[in-house]
Amino acid sequence: MTKRASGSGGLVYSTQAGRMCPACRQPLASCACVVRGPAPAGDGIVRVSRETKGRKGAGVTLVRGLPLDAEALYKLGKELRALCASGGTTKDGVIEVQGEHRDRIIEHLAKAGWTVRRAGG
């Protein structure tokens, strides 16, 4: 079974290989067109906030400032979504978890050794 991206016509998922790169149509793990450089620089503090802007009032918990590469960030996002039993996504260096889960995520990241702060109200 394969799914195609709407509008772009590129393969995005295959049951044999998982997520696919829409540009080169290779599995993301072996994609050659994505440049995997060093982790983004930051101040070493992970910030966890809640946001509703642009989401029709539905709140999401945002995790920013993790100095991880794209693959590690995706895996951590998957782990956090499973911890919260919620959906979400990982994009542009930010993990989004649907719903209000700041306390649970802060506690989990602190136990993992990260310096975590609650951002926003």
Phi-psi label, residue 53: left if phi above 0, alpha if psi -120 to 50, beta otherwise: beta
Query: Are 8 and 59 members of one domain?
Result: no
Q: Is 61 exposed, middle or buried (0-12, 13-18, 19+ CB in 10 A)?
A: buried
- Greater model confidence, 120 or 4: 120
* pTM over 0.85, yes/no: no
- Write the DSSP assignment of 60-112 as a string of letters: EEEEE-----HHHHHHHHHHHHHHHT--EEEETTEEEEESS-HHHHHHHHHHT
Name which residue leads in pLDDT, 91 or 23: 91
Q: For 61-90, what is each residue's pLDDT tens digit?
A: 999 888 888 888 899 999 999 999 998 888
- Residue 40 in domain: no
Phi-psi group of 44: left, alpha or beta (phi > 0 → left; psi -120 to 50 → alpha; rest → beta): left
Q: Copy the structure tokens of residue 88.
A: 């979400």
Average pLDDT, integer, range 99-108: 90
Residue 50, SS3 per DSSP: strand
- If you compute the radius of gyration of the chain from its CA atoms, what whole number of angstroms results? 16
Q: Do 58 and 9 share a structural domain?
A: no
Q: What is the pLDDT at residue 78?
A: 92
> How confident is the model over 91-101, as a mean pLDDT?
88
Percentage of the chain modeled with pLDDT above 70:
73
pLDDT at 4: 46
Mean pLDDT of the chain: 78
| Within-domain flag for 39 | no
Residue 16 lies in a domain: yes
Q: How many domains does the chain have?
A: 2
pLDDT top residue among 8 and 117 = 117
